[in-house]
A and B are shown apart, each in its own frame.
Chain A
Amino acid sequence: MPLHVEGVSHRYGTVAALEAIDLDIADGETVALIGPSGCGKSTLLAILGGLLQPSAGRVTLSGPPPADSLNPFTYVFQDFALLPWRSVEANVALALEHRGLPAAERHERVATALALTGLGDFAAAYPKQLSGGMRQRVGIARALVVRPAVLLLDEPLSALDAQTRALLMEDLLAIWAREKSTRVYVTHNLEEAARLADRVVVLSRRPGRIRDVLRIDIPVADRSRPGHAALLADIHRRLWSLIRDEAATADREMQRA
């Protein structure tokens, strides 16, 4: 489902968070949003999915959402946002309960999503019994169960340690190879962006403006091949050079604030 960001600006009180963002996201595309801390990338993501009303501008979509999607805009959160009093299964089912599906179909959908995310054996576990990586799997399963048209991921791997992050990213890519959807992925991790995005949108420090857009022409599935290592390293370098000074200045500004 193609998305169009048209002149979106946002301010929190007197603080400008985003300024004049124009961006078109094609159907089935994976766009990574990167930028220094506080550049408004999470704000932009919240506006994209209708969780936040922008101060100016608007987000539009062309064409109807796919018929089988129960929740066209679906988030995966950095802090997982699981209900601690619900089991893994019930957390995933939360996304379906108010949709009026027959119980059998609901159970089947939940079971499929749990199997897909490797949670089959943990259906009855409670979030506090799970590691961070497993908790985020629940968050991903909950997002997949509604068949999103646009998946909005807000630093989904940032709360995890490096090894868990690497493992979960591989799993995400494997799942995405099968599930077709448009994805917007907010991260401050350049490797993640270079690994999974078709396009990387680099935002400037606050107030966030689009500084540059980088297209990565290597198919995502091929990026782990050794032959592409040099190319990806080059992309990583270019992203870093775009973001480095901004990040340093943003950090100094944070100190002052």
Chain B
Amino acid sequence: MPDRRPVPFRGGGFNPTPRRALPWIVFAAVIALWQAASSTGLLPALFLPSPLAVAKALQALWSDGTLVVHVTASLKRIVPGWLIGTAAGLAVGLAMGIFSAARAAGIPIVSALFPIPKIALLPLLILWFGIGEPSKIATIALGVFFPTTIAAYSACDSVPRNLIRMAQSFGLPPLDIVRKVILPGAMPGILAGFRISASVALLLVVAAEMIGAEHGIGAFVLTAGNLMQTDQLLAGVVMLSVLGLLIAWGLGALERRLLRWR
């Protein structure tokens, strides 16, 4: 054949490929651009302090111990609130996933209460529990409860029916079917729910602390705003980002451990 031409290539692309350096470069570039805009006076410090100023504020807050006080205060609300909400949500959600009666009884209530922004209930909870910690913890627990419940029962639904049939065909007692088939099968959905409930907990702790608290990141950010200390304010916001990242990382580690089979 005298005239051989290669077949035109039309494939490739549309496939996420890892780019190791790029995320860091973009991140650094955004910070650098921000710093440059602040240094040249393009960005007034009162509206948006420079990254350097925020870093300095963070450093100062760390060395005088203020940061630890506020972060600890927030964690003391998030952790018990999340644990209570998660325990109750799993109990109710799994019951709804396993028993038709529990589901029939639960769905209208859960559907009606889930859309309420739980922070709207804080005033009521303050009336019940007082202005102190319990009302804040209860708000977080309530906020965590509903997404956990929904995640748990939908996760039970996502367990393939044929696996349950298989277990029945081998004569597994119902409790074993729950323990060995339904729970492990629902685990991916439950863990995905944890990610949602953790972000809800973070959101609610800040909101609750802004309504009435002396310590805590939310209270700190609010006070800094009132005093127009935007560098302090942003330092608090950065702490929230770090906290969120740490929680996500922890949940990721838990997923890798529990879902190694995937």
Contact = CB atoms under 8 A, between A and B. Distances in A.
Given A51-B169, A75-B166, A77-B162, A94 B180 contact: yes
Contacts of B185: 83, 85
Interface string A82-100: 0111100000001101100
Q: Is the interface of A mostly helix, strand, loop or mixed?
A: loop
Contacts of B167: 94
Given A79-B162, A97-B176, A98-B173, A84 B262 contact: yes
Interface residues of A, number: 21
A77 B176 contact: no
Contacts of A97: 176, 180
Contacts of B162: 77, 79, 81
Q: Is the interface of B mostly helix, strand, loop or mixed?
A: helix
B169 to A, nearest CB: 5
Interface residues of B, number: 20
Nearest to A90: B180
Given A74-B170, A79-B162, A84 B176 contact: no
A71 interface: yes
Nearest to B171: A71
Interface of A: 49, 51, 71, 73-75, 77, 79, 81, 83-86, 94-95, 97-98, 126, 128, 142, 146
Given A71-B171, A77-B162, A83-B180, 18 more contacts: A49-B169, A51-B165, A51-B168, A71-B170, A73-B169, A81-B163, A81-B165, A83-B163, A84-B262, A85-B187, A94-B170, A95-B170, A97-B176, A98-B171, A98-B172, A98-B176, A126-B261, A128-B262
21 contacts: A49-B169, A51-B165, A51-B169, A71-B169, A74-B170, A75-B169, A77-B162, A79-B162, A81-B166, A83-B163, A83-B184, A84-B261, A85-B184, A85-B187, A85-B259, A85-B261, A94-B170, A94-B172, A95-B170, A97-B180, A126-B261
